[in-house]
Structure 1
Amino acid sequence: MQQLSAQDASFLYSDTQHANANVTLLHIYNQSTAPGGKVRFKSILERIASRIDKLPMLRRRVLRVPLDLDRPYWVDDENFDLEYHVRHIALPKPGDWRQFCIQAARIHARPLDPQRPLWEIYVIEGLDSLLELPAGSFALLAKTHHAAIDVELGSEITQLLHDTEAVPPKPQPPQPWFPSRPPAPMEMFARGLSHTMTQPWWIAGPVGRRLGQAAQAAAGLAGEL
């Protein structure tokens, strides 16, 4: 279990119904250069599964402290499902640049599920009408919440998806994974309360903002009476 930094927590707190702090990377590939001239979705899924042990963050979700008394924590997702996070879609015909940009924008704008690890990868096919691209090209869109990504993790995700050798090694079977049990809500409440008592400035987070808004509303009401 690892607590979010103040900056990363602020990215979570800034999410609203109409805006979020997603970060999206987009790659386009010419699969004719791959062995056999084809890259299958199953191969991409197996590659990620064989390397995900190198990035523990990809199997961690956010656990918020009750009443937001303290900054949230990263905990193992006991119900982690790789196939939920790695998805396979295709553009509708004719699959032109306009449709591609609309699809990418829609994916980027959709909020990530806060009960799961904050990332998704989409393999997008049907790009045959995108001018200047070789026939059969496909795109890979990787979306992560800003709270979960930094410069180092961003480069590690890129390395996870790509090989640097002309003839890469075959993917290895995924290693057994034993997630740690997340703390119970009362345990998180006690932990947050203790931290708030020893470092009261953390109350200036979401709880502090709500108290401030309530105080302003009360002051406004008093002024009208």
Structure 2
Amino acid sequence: MLKKVNPETTLFLVASKTFTTQETMTNAHSARDWFLKAAGDEKHVAKHFAALSTNAKAVGEFGIDTANMFEFWDWVGGRYSLWSAIGLSIVLSIGFDNFVELLSGAHAMDKHFSTTPAEKNLPVLLALIGIWYNNFFGAETEAILPYDQYMHRFAAYFQQGNMESNGKYVDRNGNVVNYQTGPIIWGEPGTNGQHAFLPADPPGNQNGTVRFHRPGYHP
């Protein structure tokens, strides 16, 4: 990527909650070294790098002006952070109007979750269905199959959101649980899987669940 950009006109966004994430900071330092070969003076780093973080001290030590730091709350988990300042890269990609729609959709679902009775609550029902099939039907995997190429990375995102949260062997009080806390989440766009892994389920004898997704369009 660096071969395609001009250091004089490039702005880098370093997105890391703690500003210590190894992979992110390795890339950030590589970009900084590349930039300094052209800029020469470290004072120019402040003009070409901005941070999305909660760690102002580390941001300043990197050479970024903390006035160019987009801060968010430290209780925001990484798997939920796309709706915070971390989502700035999304804004730059899809435009602010579309990002506002993303926020509105998330808010609508948050409101639904917090106010809807359990028997009609979509997140609650999906969670309980996952536990039910996992523990009582032996379905240890759940395939996410979106039928829209724009959602081709949704399975990977949902995998993190679900498995990072539920991949526990103890409850909130530290007691070892005696049941499966959640299935293994995986998936691809449905069209990719039709002649790859889909023939194994349901025609095969593997036991798992499949969730089909299609995009919703509003007038």
Using structure 1 for the length normalisation, give the TM-score.
Answer: 0.22
Greater strand share, 1 or 2?
1
| Higher RCO (CA-CA < 8 Å; seq separation 6+) | 1
